[in-house]
């Protein structure tokens, strides 16, 4: 069954493509107030328009996402590996609640958000060698994260005591008030800070937080074929959530050390191979370094500077967006650099002079003089 095409985000908000951030914000606010579910109870069409406007605003109000959308359309804002609602409600959450809260207060869509909060995502940098990036490796990461407090079991109360229900919000963690627009706004309870419970005697270890920051070790598998600047996500390895909430994720940024003589270009590897004049003129059988070890290379007689030889399958493995090996590799490109000697001893100089005589240098000079005489008429 065919799916309905999405409307252009600018059209949804009723603004032009050159609209300023302030114009986009005002347009969204107007539509959000018009189609908010609290003002249109049971109206499915209004709810869909509210969601459509919210989705459009979430993309166009973010500079990076807006650039992606302008360049690639909806594919750029919802393509593989791109989550237009990342950071707005988390996985499985409601992407529209947080963005609407920015205008009308937390929970302005009505109803309790409920549940526990997710822990924060963390970032880490990992430096690997050129060869480790090509073939993959396993590393052990040391980093600090918030862990559930052991002595209190994460509830924040001193062992032997228990948290009590917040008397102000009756354990919901939220307070409801009506705005001047007669809309219900839900805000975090200021007495329990949204936890729904009060800690009469805080745990001495975590001071009532329920979490403590500790250094942890975690193994990381780096797939073959990764490149500098790529990022690996480890789900659930971030900070533990408060009050028993789920943990955030850990994002590991890869930094690949440069190699002494290999240079990566996409899935190919470049190598400059220096040879001398004799090898270039007479040819040579050489051993060329690759990431798999030395490989024989036949340099034919008369090879010129800049000649490129290709060693098939000696490059970088191809991987998909999930890091899975596709079973093929790029090539190694060997670029010949003919080295001209800068210092000659007497014997070498004499040999080069004799070589020059046998190659007809005088004949070349005569032809050269004839060339210039044609130009200048002398």
20 assigned ligand-binding residue = no
Helix (H) or strand (E) holding 231: strand 231-234
Residue 189 labeled ligand binder? yes
CA distance 124 to 92: 25
Question: Residue 283: which of 296, 304, 256, 302 has the closest Cα?
Answer: 302
203 annotated binding-site participant: yes
Structural tokens at position 258: 């440069």
3-class secondary-structure state, position 59 = helix
Which structure tokens are listed for 232?
Answer: 């690996």
Residue 86's CB: how many other CB atoms inside 10 A? 12
149 annotated to a ligand binding site: yes
Give the DSSP letter string of 91-103.
TTS-HHHHHHHHH
* Distance in angstroms (rounded) separating the CA atoms of residues 374 and 366: 13
Q: Is 66 annotated as a binding residue?
A: no
Check the annotation: does 40 bind a ligand: no
Query: Is residue 67 marked as binding?
Result: no
64 among annotated binding-site residues:
no
Question: In angstroms, rounded to a whole number, what is the distance separating the alpha carbons of residues 172 and 145?
Answer: 28
Q: Cite the annotated binding site for Zn(2+) by residue number.
A: 149, 152, 166, 169, 189, 192, 203, 206
Q: Cite the annotated binding site by residue number.
A: 149, 152, 166, 169, 189, 192, 203, 206
């Amino acid at each position: 069954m065919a799916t309905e095409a999405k409307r252009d985000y600018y059209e949804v908000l009723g603004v032009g493509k050159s609209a300023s951030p302030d114009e986009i914000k005002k347009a969204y606010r107007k539509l959000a107030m018009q189609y908010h579910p609290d003002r249109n109870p049971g109206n499915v069409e209004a709810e869909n328009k509210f969601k459509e406007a919210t989705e459009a605003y979430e993309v166009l109000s973010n500079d990076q996402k807006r650039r992606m959308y302008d360049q690639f359309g909806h594919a750029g804002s919802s393509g593989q590996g791109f989550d237009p609602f990342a950071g707005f409600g988390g996985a499985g959450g409601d992407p529209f609640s947080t963005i609407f809260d920015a205008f009308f207060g937390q929970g302005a869509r009505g109803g309790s958000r409920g549940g526990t909060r997710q822990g924060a995502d963390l970032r880490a940098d990992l430096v690997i060698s050129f060869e480790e990036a090509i073939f993959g490796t396993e590393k052990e990461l040391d980093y600090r994260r918030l862990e559930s407090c052991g002595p209190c079991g994460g509830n924040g109360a001193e062992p032997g005591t228990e948290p009590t229900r917040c008397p102000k919000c009756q354990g919901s963690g939220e307070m409801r008030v009506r705005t001047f627009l007669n809309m219900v706004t839900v805000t975090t309870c200021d007495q329990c800070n949204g936890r729904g419970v009060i800690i009469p005697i805080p745990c001495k270890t975590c001071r009532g937080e329920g979490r403590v920051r500790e250094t942890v070790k975690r193994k990381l598998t780096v797939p073959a074929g990764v490149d500098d600047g790529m990022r690996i996500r480890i789900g659930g390895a971030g900070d533990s959530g408060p009050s028993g909430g789920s943990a955030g994720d850990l994002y590991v940024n890869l930094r690949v050390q440069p190699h002494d003589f290999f240079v990566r270009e996409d899935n190919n590897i470049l190598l400059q191979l220096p040879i001398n004049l004799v090898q270039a003129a007479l040819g040579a059988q050489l051993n060329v370094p690759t990431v798999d070890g030395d490989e024989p290379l036949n340099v034919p007689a008369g090879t010129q500077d800049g000649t490129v030889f290709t060693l098939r399958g000696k490059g970088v493995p191809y991987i998909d967006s999930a890091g899975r090996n596709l079973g093929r590799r790029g090539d190694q490109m060997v670029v010949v650099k003919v080295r001209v000697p800068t210092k000659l001893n007497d014997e070498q100089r004499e040999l080069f002079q004799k070589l020059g005589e046998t190659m007809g240098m005088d004949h070349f000079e005569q032809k050269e003089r004839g060339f210039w005489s044609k130009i200048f008429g002398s």
